[in-house]
Amino acid sequence: MKEVWVYAESEGGRLHPVVSELLGEGRRLAERIGGSLGAVLASSHASLAEELALWADRVYVIQDQSPYTDEWQGQALARLIEAYQPGIVLFGGTRRGKSLAPRVAARLRTGLIADCTSLRLDDGGLLLAELPTFGGRLLTTIACPGHRPQMATLAPGAFAPGPKGSGGEIINCPWAAPEVRAVEVVAQEPLPEEDRPLMGAEIVIAGGRGIGSRANFALLEEVASLLGAAVGASRAAVDAGWVEPEGLIGQTGVIVRPRLYIACGISGATQHVVGMQRSEVIVAVNKDPKAPIFDLATYGVVGDCRQFLLELKRHLAPSRPVDEENEGEND
Ligand SMILES: Cc1cc2nc3c(=O)[nH]c(=O)nc-3n(C[C@H](O)[C@H](O)[C@H](O)COP(=O)(O)OP(=O)(O)OC[C@H]3O[C@@H](n4cnc5c(N)ncnc54)[C@H](O)[C@@H]3O)c2cc1C
């Protein structure tokens, strides 16, 4: 069937933010193959199905009130896919998606391409998924030519949300849960929020090794709050202990796509770049004019990032005196 499906992850009556990205990419692929877009939901909240119907052509609602487990949702999804035969099925590369998608793929005896950062289709409709591999040294293209459906998990933040559709159909899919369950839910406790403020930020200011010290990083944080920006970091800054790991941007961190990304003292290693290259405007500050970050920067500032931050602070808060001697410091 020429339908692209997305798994609409939800919890507590809310759709996961990655779902809008899946719907955007799903719509793009569906248009490319001349097909339609379907969303699969397993939730008793009727408003979620209605919300999804604004974007998808069909919303398949699995009728089961049981608490989430990989086990039953994996079985239910596999059954539904066997019944409707979508050509492509996309999941978010979230905690749940990474656990659920492989189970579904194994049941269907098909492949699964994990953590994709870009997708395209060849002329025959074969899904070509790009992802960084070997520690980011290689950008690999992976396809699943021999089995169907073609399945992938998409790195959160790597894909743009899409436009609304024209109002889709909601299809209720009865599902008889198996009598014997290997997993019994005894209690449910919400995990800490997986979504980080960095992911939806319009402005991100990030620091790297070139920031030089924790005190200078505090100056960056001060400038960020004046700008209304989220604070990000490279691996070197996280490893130095200047910032919490939640701030890491890149292959092993968060993927961001803000309107403005300011990189201070960051060289532009591939593993960092995969996390910020989709930013609309990139400003790079680096004392080395040959730093690779300048290859993708919209504007480049060759110079000392502490001086840059002090200058920016002076412009943003002219009433606050800037003590150049003592503000921030170099270790
Ligand atoms: C498997 C794997 C996964 C990884 N995942 C990630 C990831 O998710 N995110 C990530 O960021 N990295 C990741 N890395 C690490 C990555 O390869 C780089 O080592 C890291 O991004 C470098 O951080 P940096 O640019 O801050 O430091 P450096 O590469 O050391 O660059 C520091 C820069 O600061 C400049 N500089 C120095 N002093 C000043 C100054 N006073 N003013 C202005 N500029 C100055 C220098 O010219 C230099 O360009 C990963 C590596 C591996 C192997």
271 lines ligand 1 (CB under 6 A): yes
- Asked if the domains at 3-174 and 197-316 fall in one CATH topology, the answer is yes
Distance CA 122, CA 237 (A): 40
CATH superfamily of 197-316: TPP-binding domain (3.40.50.1220)
DSSP state of 318: T
| DSSP code per residue over 127-142 | EEEEEEETTTTEEEEE
Please give the distance, rounded to the nearest whole angstrom, from the Cα atom of residue 7 to the centre of ligand 1: 35
Nearest CA owner, ligand 1 atom 3: 135
Distance CA 286, CA 301 (A): 6
Question: What is the amino acid identity at position 64?
Answer: D
266 lines ligand 1 (CB under 6 A): yes
**For domain 3-174, which CATH number applies: 3.40.50.620, 3.40.50.360, 3.90.1010.10, 3.20.20.10?**
3.40.50.620
Share of the chain above pLDDT 90, in %: 73
Q: Mind listing the pLDDT tens digit for each residue in 185-229?
A: 888 877 665 556 788 899 999 999 999 999 999 999 999 999 999
Which atom of ligand 1 approaches the CA of 251 most closely?
A: 8
Distance CA 58, CA 24 (A): 15
Q: Identify the residue whose tokens are 């069937």.
A: 1
Angle CA 14–20–26, to nearest 5: 135
pLDDT in tens, the chain (331 residues): 689 999 999 988 899 999 999 999 999 999 999 999 999 999 888 899 999 999 999 999 998 878 889 999 999 999 999 999 999 999 999 989 999 999 999 999 999 999 998 999 999 999 999 888 877 778 899 999 999 999 999 999 899 998 888 889 999 998 877 767 788 888 887 766 555 678 889 999 999 999 999 999 999 999 999 999 999 999 999 999 999 999 999 988 899 999 999 999 999 999 999 999 999 999 999 999 999 999 999 999 999 999 999 999 999 987 776 676 677 765 5
Which atom of ligand 1 approaches the CA of 137 most closely?
A: 53
Please give the distance, rounded to the nearest whole angstrom, from the Cα atom of residue 269 to the centre of ligand 1: 6
Handedness of CA 292, 293, 298, 299 (dihedral sign): negative
Mutation test residue for ligand 1: of 238, 252, 283, 330, the one with most atoms within 8 Å of CB: 252
Nearest CA owner, ligand 1 atom 30: 209
Domain ranges of the chain: 3-174, 197-316
288 lines ligand 1 (CB under 6 A): yes
pTM: 0.81
Please give the distance, rounded to the nearest whole angstrom, from the Cα atom of residue 301 to the centre of ligand 1: 17
Please give the distance, rounded to the nearest whole angstrom, from the Cα atom of residue 258 to the centre of ligand 1: 20
